């Protein structure tokens, strides 16, 4: 009887584990900003970005290119406004990112950077208008200040034109993700199963002692 009960509890614990959220559920969306000269292509999972959790980074890729009539430079920067403290890793790749990362290796523009939230544009890099910049931002909510929301924008300027791209409705509205209640349920099942197993083991030891 005890063996069957233990097996049932183990199955319950496994079911609780399956309820935990998985990164594979991410659903990135693509946004294209096309001007006369500048072109920005943004790819991110905005659903995840709108409910950041401390220590769980959200990836945001922005491709910046230009089709200018005369040789020149394109300046790329970021700005932020809001009340939630965000930590950023910003990487630059000369080629398109693939499943393994940046072919040939990426250049770190910022690492573990607390982005200012005063709305001022901060320059990241300048490229020739014949180049294509593949920017990757890994954005994490600071556990020490996990309150409020913050918007981040990526800026590009060149050939007398300015282009900006960012999330619609706030990038870091903090709080529980939509699937978090399932995670809490899974955790509760695991705790319950563990508590019952402890009780069974104690009773088993006591019965063995009484029999001796």
Q: pLDDT per position in the chain (212 positions), as tens?
A: 545 544 444 444 444 444 444 333 357 889 999 999 999 999 998 887 778 888 889 999 999 999 998 999 999 999 999 999 999 999 999 999 999 999 999 999 999 999 999 999 999 999 999 999 999 999 999 888 767 889 999 999 999 999 999 886 455 543 333 334 434 444 444 455 555 455 555 565 555 455 55
Whole-number pLDDT of residue 181: 41
How far is CA 205 from each of CA 156, 193, 197, rounded to the nearest angstrom?
70, 19, 12
DSSP secondary-structure letter at 70?
Answer: S
Buried b / exposed e over 30-58, threshold 16 CB at 10 Å, is eeebeeebbbbbbbbbbebbbbbbeeebb
- Among residues 41, 32, 26, 48, which one has the least CA distance to residue 171? 48
Q: Tell me how far apart the alpha carbons of residues 139 and 60 are, in angstroms, rounded to a whole number.
A: 8
- Among residues 43, 55, 39, which one has the least CA distance to residue 144? 55
DSSP secondary-structure letter at 160?
Answer: T
Q: Tell me how far apart the alpha carbons of residues 141 and 151 are, in angstroms, rounded to a whole number.
A: 12
CB-based contacts of 81, cutoff 8 Å, min separation 6: 117, 118, 119, 150, 151
Taking each helix axis from N to C end, the angle separating 2-18 and 180-211, rounded to the nearest 10 degrees, works out to 160
Helix (H, G, I), strand (E, B) or coil at 6: helix
> And the tokens for 196?
């019952």
Give 48-68 pLDDT, tens digit per residue. Answer: 777 888 888 999 999 999 999
Q: Tell me how far apart the alpha carbons of residues 165 and 4 are, in angstroms, rounded to a whole number.
A: 57
Whole-number pLDDT of residue 26: 57
Whole-number pLDDT of residue 49: 79
């Amino acid at each position: 009887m005890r063996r069957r009960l233990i097996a049932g509890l183990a199955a319950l614990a496994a079911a609780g584990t399956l309820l935990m959220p998985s990164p594979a559920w991410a659903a990135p969306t693509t946004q294209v900003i096309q001007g006369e000269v500048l072109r920005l292509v943004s790819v991110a999972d905005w659903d995840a970005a709108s409910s950041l959790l401390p220590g769980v980074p959200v990836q945001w890729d922005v491709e910046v290119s230009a089709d200018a009539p005369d040789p020149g430079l394109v300046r790329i920067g970021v700005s932020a406004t809001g009340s939630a403290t965000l930590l950023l890793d910003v990487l630059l790749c000369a080629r398109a990112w693939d499943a393994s990362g940046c072919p040939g290796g990426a250049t770190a523009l910022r690492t573990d950077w607390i982005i200012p939230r005063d709305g001022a544009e901060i320059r990241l890099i300048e490229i020739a208008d014949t180049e294509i910049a593949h920017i990757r931002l890994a954005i994490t909510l600071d556990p020490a200040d996990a309150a409020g929301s913050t918007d981040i924008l990526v800026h590009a300027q060149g050939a007398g034109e300015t282009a900006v791209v960012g999330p619609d409705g706030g990038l870091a509205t903090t709080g529980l993700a939509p699937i978090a209640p399932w995670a809490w349920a899974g955790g509760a099942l695991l705790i319950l199963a563990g508590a019952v197993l402890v009780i069974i083991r104690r009773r088993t030891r006591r019965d063995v002692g009484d029999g001796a």
